[in-house]
Amino acid sequence: MSELYLVTDADIGCRAGHTVPYVVEEACRAGVRWVQVREKTASTRAFVELAAELKRITQTYGARLIINDRVDVALAVDADGVHVGQDDMPHQLVRKLIGPDKILGLSVNNLAELQEARGTAVDYLGVAAIFPTATKQDTSSLLGLEGLRELCRQTQLPTFAIGGINTGNIQDVIRAGATGAAVVSAICGHPSPYEGTRELIQLIQ
């Protein structure tokens, strides 16, 4: 069964009049079991407080809580893992800091970055960006379904496709070989995060 992965964005949630904890709880209630908290503008204090609150929520539903970029925040709240990109702390150092038992996710944007991740202690790959998205400004060239298919063919690691995924294309990314799909706006920007999540899960079950 394919998996749905929620990545949070406070701005998009706020646009829909929702807080991040509300969106996360609704998505968990609807069946999401992967939640990544991604805070680009919050103070460290606010990030830790939010992460602690999300830890309580995700634990209640048996979902994993992954922290974007910040190893210190992940350790402080005993999150399930950390997700880093190519410009963040090198994943080998992240593994050293978080120990062998936490989950480590790495974003890859092309085959060269995939090669570099081979034989390392990364647990899953975020594969980005598949389609155009307004959520992240600095996405490098788009992979499209063909690029995603090629990348998935060349790795044994679980792959979560991200970037512009919605109800109209989520089945295509699974058919292209991704283990799961990660979304921001399809859930955070949905008038009902619960309904938005249900629709996406039903499409990939």
Mind telling me the catalytic residues? 38, 107, 136
CB of 200 to Mg ion, least distance (A): 23
CB atoms within 10 A of CB 47: 22
CB of 187 to ligand TZP, least distance (A): 8
Answer with the entry of ligand TZP, Mg ion, none that 133 interacts with (C-beta below 5 to 8 A by kind). Answer: ligand TZP
Select from 126, 100, 96 the least CA-distant residue to 113: 126
**What is the residue type of 181?**
A
Selected binder of ligand TZP within 185, 190, 197, 201 (CB under 6 A): 185
Contact 197, 27 (CB under 8 A): yes
Q: Is 180 in the site for Mg ion (CB under 5 A)?
A: no
Q: Is 125 in the site for ligand TZP (CB under 6 A)?
A: no
Answer with the entry of Mg ion, ligand TZP, none that 135 interacts with (C-beta below 5 to 8 A by kind). Answer: ligand TZP
Binding mask 86-115 for Mg ion (x = CB under 5 A): --x---------------------------
> Cis peptide before 129, with omega less than 30 degrees from 0?
yes
CB atoms within 10 A of CB 146: 9
Q: Is 162 in the site for ligand TZP (CB under 6 A)?
A: yes
Residue 124 has which token pair? 């899953």
CB of 167 to ligand TZP, least distance (A): 12
Q: Is 7 in the site for ligand TZP (CB under 6 A)?
A: yes
Q: Is 108 in the site for ligand TZP (CB under 6 A)?
A: no
Q: Is 165 in the site for ligand TZP (CB under 6 A)?
A: yes
Q: Is 136 in the site for ligand TZP (CB under 6 A)?
A: yes
Select from 91, 44, 39, 89 the least CA-distant residue to 67: 39
**Residue positions in the annotated binding site?**
36-40, 68-69, 88, 107, 133-136, 164, 184-185
Select from 111, 75, 114 the least CA-distant residue to 95: 75
d(CA 98, CA 80) in angstroms, rounded, equals 10
d(CA 83, CA 98) in angstroms, rounded, equals 11
